[in-house]
Amino acid sequence: MMLGAESLQKIDREIAKYPSDQKQSAVMAALRIAQMEKGWLSGETMNFVAAYLGMEPIAVYEVASFYNMYNLAPVGRYKITLCTNLPCALSGANDVARYLQEKLGIGFNETTADGKYTLREGECFGACGEAPLFLVNNVRMCGGLTVAEIDKILAELE
Amino acid sequence: MEQILLKGLDGDRTWHLADYVKRDGYAALRKIFSEKMTPEQVIDQVKKSALRGRGGAGFPTGLKWSFMPKNYDGDKYLVCNTDEGEPGTFKDRDIMRFNPHQLIEGMIIAAYAMGIKVGYNYIHGEIWETYTRAEEALEEARAAGFLGENILGSGFSFQLHNHLGYGAYICGEETALLESIEGKKGQPRFKPPFPASFGLYGKPTTINNTETFASVPWIILHGGEKYLELGRPNNGGTKLFSVSGHVNRPGNYEVPLGTPFAKLLEMAGGMRGGKLKACIPGGSSMPVLPGEIMMDLDMDYDSIAKAGSYLGSGAVIIMNDTVCMVKALQRLSYFYFEESCGQCTPCREGTGWLYRVVDRIENGHGKNEDLDLLLGMTDNIQGRTICALGDAAAMPVRSFVKHFRDEFQYHIDHKKCLVPSYA
């Protein structure tokens, strides 16, 4: 499963950061870029990344399954990852979790029937000062969450 | 109060190079080149400053730098640890968001001091917006001639790149971080050999925390002794404290080491919704302390250590008297279980077991022998693993049970919580 030209260009830029005999160093970035294009990492996509970087496929699977932010199965168009760790919990993350579950009608690690949302529980994002907070599709951090704020964010996600 | 890391950060352009230069940015680097300071002189100033590693271990930075082989022919690497994921810690993100050039300048100076030509900054995967800004800051520094070949005509060359993590707490451990840059699972390496002899790609490597590097330009510009005077003997300089939990103004506060905890709490707007019950003074891995002990402490490495905890990363998690300590520990124990890399049996099996026992106490299925069981388990985890994650999982359990044993016992005896309102 070939990646698009834009993704390949981005991966090449990552490869250039490392010594010429250490292309494997770009595997985390390559998987991230592939996931951004495809939505998740299928076996075919990972095999492509392996071939592109000259790695054994198993070495790529190991990386993809070790780091939490890779999607090893299809997810909704919007993956919402809520931090529920202690500092966030002290600032209302469990209330946010209940509200999100009710509003979306799904539990953690589930996807809505229309394929729009997936809800995940995350570990510390390193932004506890803005608790409670969630990440949308690994890239957009939304902090200081209140019911009104959550409604607004969800309404904006077409 | 003198600030070093957050000084003058007003407006939304503080992260740009032009703004940084107005705040004396890159003046330390220019000073090194114009005064022809030798690498030894640079390291000497860092030693005099008593700067200690701001990532959590508090190791003297100048000493660490002096471990790097001097007359080494091959490649050497400099690595910055911005993989900030210790619950409660969010200081490095603010340095990267608002003041990234200070980190870049600090790394260039460190590279010069150790004769290193290539560096990597490993950034926590969850802070994508900060990563993209860090990429732009590097471009600015390259365009202005602060990074690349023959920096400012000095003959010294240094290349710096950002590497984005993707959700693994363990990569904050320095050798796991190196494995991760090499494109592998982030599983810590057995030490020795230490990174100074066998680091990234098997080459001599120095790894420091973001805040540590970002403190270096000021030390060079104003002198190590002046930095030391800002703090206390053996605890030089200022420190960023990330205050979270039950306070009115959670956030980062830069204060001199040795500042009373009571003052820091006041700066963070004081308690929210109840009296101070407990505080974890250095990030979730450090032992919790009861509120009344905390109120008498000063925030420096040695004072906190004397009281039985550690300053760690400077993440101050505040809990008021509505918090159920069993439930709080249950969440922390789940975290270490989830984040154990699986390499060492005591940690892989032990973190899950700790979590399951705390979880059953929380849910009213605790047994009388469970508290001693928990303490026994921590004995069998602590000090018996390759890296400190095992210790990090054990220390909260040990300290929560030690200081709040009555509350755990109440859960076991009455199948319910002593403190009813914690969500």
Instruction: Provide the pLDDT for residue B404.
Output: 97
Q: Which of B324, B325, B317, B322 is nearest to B261 (CA)?
A: B317
Domain end marker among A22, A46, A66 = A66
Cβ within 8 Å, pair A19-B75 = yes
For residue A18, give its domain range.
5-66
Question: Are A48 and A95 part of one and the same domain?
Answer: no
The Cα–Cα gap between B109 and B61 comes to: 13
> B283: left (phi > 0), else alpha (psi -120 to 50), else beta?
left
> A98 in a domain, yes or no?
yes
Q: Which of B4, B1, B2 is nearest to B216 (CA)?
A: B4
> A132 in a domain, yes or no?
yes
CATH number (domain holding residue A108): 3.40.30.10
pLDDT band for position B173 (50/70/90)? very high
Domain end marker among A66, A86, A102 = A66
Q: Which of B239, B123, B230, B136 is nearest to B181 (CA)?
A: B123
Residue B211: in which H helix or E strand, if any? helix B210-222
The domain tally of chain A equals 2
Cβ within 8 Å, pair A87-B88 = yes
> A145 in a domain, yes or no?
yes
More confident residue, B8 or B409: B409
pLDDT band for position B421 (50/70/90)? low
Contacts of A123 in chain B (CB under 8 A): 85, 87, 167, 169, 335, 338-339
- Whether the predicted pLDDT of A158 surpasses 80: no
A24, A68, A128: residue with CB nearest B183:
A24
Q: Which of A60, A14, A15, A23 is nearest to A41 (CA)?
A: A60
Question: Are A44 and A86 part of one and the same domain?
Answer: no
Q: Testing the interface with B: which of A21, A61, A123 to mutate, by most B Cβ within 10 A?
A: A123
* Mean pLDDT calculated for residue range B264-277: 96
Cβ within 8 Å, pair A95-B423 = yes
Question: Are A92 and A151 part of one and the same domain?
Answer: yes
pLDDT over 90, % of chain A? 98
Domain end marker among A13, A33, A66 = A66
Averaged confidence pLDDT in chain A: 97
Question: Are A21 and A61 part of one and the same domain?
Answer: yes
- Whether the predicted pLDDT of B118 surpasses 60: yes
Cβ within 8 Å, pair B335-A27 = no
**Nearest chain B Cα distance for residue A91, angstroms:** 6
pLDDT band for position B98 (50/70/90)? very high
Calculate the CA dihedral of residues B36, B37, B40, B46 and round it to 10 degrees.
Answer: -160
Question: Are A100 and A152 part of one and the same domain?
Answer: yes
Question: Are A153 and A91 part of one and the same domain?
Answer: yes
Question: Are A62 and A11 part of one and the same domain?
Answer: yes
> A41 in a domain, yes or no?
yes
Question: Are A57 and A83 part of one and the same domain?
Answer: no
* Mean pLDDT calculated for residue range B255-271: 96
- Whether the predicted pLDDT of B353 surpasses 90: yes
Instruction: Provide the pLDDT for residue B71.
Output: 86
Q: What are the tokens at B129? A: 């917006």
> A73 in a domain, yes or no?
no
Question: Are A26 and A95 part of one and the same domain?
Answer: no
- Whether the predicted pLDDT of B145 surpasses 80: yes
Cβ within 8 Å, pair B423-A32 = no
Alpha helices per DSSP H over B279-369: 291-294, 301-306, 325-339, 345-362
- Whether the predicted pLDDT of B26 surpasses 50: yes
Residue type, position A55, single letter: M
pLDDT, one tens digit per residue, over B183-209 is 999 999 999 999 999 999 999 999 999
> A71 in a domain, yes or no?
no
> A72 in a domain, yes or no?
no
pLDDT, one tens digit per residue, over B319-352 is 999 999 999 999 999 999 999 999 999 999 999 9
Q: What are the tokens at B2? A: 């003198």
Residue type, position A64, single letter: A
Calculate the CA dihedral of residues B311, B389, B208, B250 and round it to 10 degrees.
Answer: -50
pLDDT band for position B57 (50/70/90)? confident
pLDDT over 90, % of chain B? 93
Q: Are B253 and B63 in contact (CB under 8 A)?
A: no
The Cα–Cα gap between B411 and B343 comes to: 33
A63, A86, A90: residue with CB nearest B185:
A63
* Mean pLDDT calculated for residue range B200-228: 97
Instruction: Provide the pLDDT for residue B304.
Output: 95
Distance of CA B226 to the CA centre of its chain: 24
Distance of CA A80 to the CA centre of its chain: 8
> A134 in a domain, yes or no?
yes
Q: Are B256 and B2 in contact (CB under 8 A)?
A: yes
The Cα–Cα gap between A130 and A126 comes to: 10
- Whether the predicted pLDDT of B1 surpasses 80: no
* Mean pLDDT calculated for residue range B8-14: 90
B93, B166, B183: residue with CB nearest A25:
B183
**Nearest chain A Cα distance for residue B156, angstroms:** 19
Cβ within 8 Å, pair B168-A122 = no
CATH number (domain holding residue A24): 1.10.10
* Mean pLDDT calculated for residue range B123-148: 98
Question: Are A49 and A29 part of one and the same domain?
Answer: yes
State the count of interchain CB pairs (< 8 A) between A and B: 160
Residue located via tokens 């740009």: B16
Query: Residue B94: CB partners within 8 Å, gap ≥ 6?
Result: B6, B240, B252
Could you give the C-alpha distances from B27 to B3, B117, B141, B247, B296, in angstroms and in order? 17, 21, 14, 37, 40
Least confident of A76-85, B302-311, B349-358: B302-311
- Whether the predicted pLDDT of B232 surpasses 90: no
Cβ within 8 Å, pair A128-B166 = no
End-to-end CA gap in chain B: 38
Phi, psi dihedral angles at B356 (to 5 degrees) = -65, -35
3-state secondary structure of B60: strand
Question: Are A89 and A115 part of one and the same domain?
Answer: yes
Residue A136: in which H helix or E strand, if any? strand A134-136
- Whether the predicted pLDDT of B33 surpasses 60: yes
Instruction: Provide the pLDDT for residue B423.
Output: 45
Strands of B238-245's sheet in order across: B251-256, B238-245, B315-320, B276-280, B289-290
The Cα–Cα gap between B191 and B173 comes to: 12
Cβ within 8 Å, pair A28-B163 = yes
pLDDT band for position B358 (50/70/90)? very high
Q: What are the tokens at B240? A: 């960023």
Q: Are B52 and B63 in contact (CB under 8 A)?
A: no
- Whether the predicted pLDDT of B407 surpasses 90: yes
Instruction: Provide the pLDDT for residue A139.
Output: 97
pLDDT, one tens digit per residue, over A91-109 is 999 999 999 999 999 999 9
**Nearest chain A Cα distance for residue B315, angstroms:** 10
Tell whether the torsion through CA atoms of B372, B356, A92 and B280 is positive or negative.
Answer: positive
Instruction: Provide the pLDDT for residue B235.
Output: 80
The Cα–Cα gap between B61 and B43 comes to: 9
Contacting B residues, span 108-137, partner chain A, CB-CB under 8 Å: 120, 124-129
Question: Are A87 and A58 part of one and the same domain?
Answer: no
Q: Are B79 and B181 in contact (CB under 8 A)?
A: yes
